[in-house]
Amino acid sequence: MTTPTFPALATTDLPLTTAIAGTSIGHPRFLQLLNDSTAAGTIANVTHTELKQHFNRAIETLWEKHVSAPYFHGQGDQGTTPRELLDFYYGDSTALHRIEATLRKVNACDIQHPAVDAMRQVLTEFVPIAQRLAFLKEHIVKRPVKSQEEREAEQRFVPTPAMPGVVLQMWQEIAKVTERNKQQVVEYFTKEYARRLDFFMSASPTLREKLVRDPENRAAVRAGTAPRSSPHEDYALKPDFKAELVALAEKEAAELREAFISKVVRKLAPIVEAKGNLASVTEVSNTIQVGRLSGMLAIAFTDGSRFVVDNNLVYSSSVRNREFMRFPLTFHDVILADGSRMKKPSEERMHSIFCAAGEPVQVDQEDDTDCEEAEHGSSPRG
């Protein structure tokens, strides 16, 4: 079988992608990595996965900018998009492995509309990328097996879990901080479910079948419509569908808040327990954004040490395009008991330096020499 020859892709070959490259500092590296791997004819599995993730995000961004926003979100076309095109739009995938098949359907579409031209333009640009990734998929090589020393060196720091009493204390403190924002989260989810239900009820039967495959749409439909006796029966709104959507939003918000608090407590409780002299947990700022709960907490101790944590909730997608939540938490403005500022406050350094610097001095009362050294010397391990 003849091995296909792929010329190196230049930025001029990908005008749409290059135009948005400014939003991704890693784009030039990924494009070069794609060219180098294609020329070599081999690629590590982890590298292939990274390339797929990067270019899938790129096509999602371009699809949103050139297709979804102007023609399907009612922003530029004033709702004049043909119903047949709506069915087509919601029924086809833009994932890289489906690019060529979707493009064939677009080219065969007999609807004359700017949205079709925009679809064709985006898909055509990604065909050469999809072809190269498909080729590389057949030439994936396994990574070399790492030694025990290498595996141990890569192990992440894992603190000792805190005792239940400290966990409960921190849970109550963080719950107080997030209580004021709980209703904002409920209101956001209620509006989102109402929007999905409204769009579903106004859609054609064909489009409804496709929309209901989405779990968020399905949840809104189940909450807001009456049970049907058969698949052929038309959908009808419940008399109290608004209250049902609010109840669904409250349940979603409660689960979201619980997961958020759990992650923050799991990070902070071991530090609080190691210090043993918590003074206060106060809110610096806590605002609700679309799809994200974020906040900054100031943690102070009776010995004068303190720090600020910035915690967020973000949605990510796995390599299988499954959505999941992450809660990045970072430490800032870390001040030790002696007033000095701690640099590079990673979680591991918070335990090895911040907590250790706050430990009480252990003095042997029967040894005057040790007592004098402890009184005039530097703090232990500090």
Q: What are the boundaries of each domain within the chain?
A: 11-141, 164-357
How do the pLDDT tens digits run along the chain, 382 residues long?
456 788 999 988 988 888 876 655 567 888 999 999 999 998 988 889 889 988 988 888 888 888 888 888 754 345 567 777 877 777 667 788 889 998 998 898 888 889 899 999 999 999 999 999 999 999 998 766 677 777 776 677 778 888 898 899 889 888 887 777 778 888 889 999 999 999 999 888 888 888 888 888 999 999 999 998 888 888 999 999 999 999 999 998 888 888 878 888 888 999 999 888 889 888 776 554 434 566 778 899 999 999 998 876 666 655 554 566 666 788 999 999 999 999 888 888 898 888 886 544 443 444 443 333 333 333 333 3
SS3 readout for the chain: CCCCCCCCCCHHHCHHHHHCHHHCCCHHHHHHHHHHHHHHCCEEHHHHHHHHHHHHHHHHHHHHHHHHHHHCCCCCCCCCCCHHHHHHHHHCCCCHHHHHHHHHHHHHCCCCCHHHHHHHHHHHHHHHHHHHHHHHHCCEECCCCCCHHHHHHHCCCCCCCCCHHHHHHHHHHHHHHHHHHHHHHHHHHHHHHHHHHHHHHCCCHHHHHHHCCCHHHHHHHHHHECCCCCCCCCCCECCCHHHHHHHHHHHHHHHHHHHHHHHHHHHHHHHHHHHCCEEEEEEEEEEEECCEEEEEEEEEECCCCEEEEEEECEEEECCCCCEEEECCEEEEEEECCCCCECCCCCHHHHHHHHHHHCCCCCCCCCCHHHHHHHHHCCCCCC
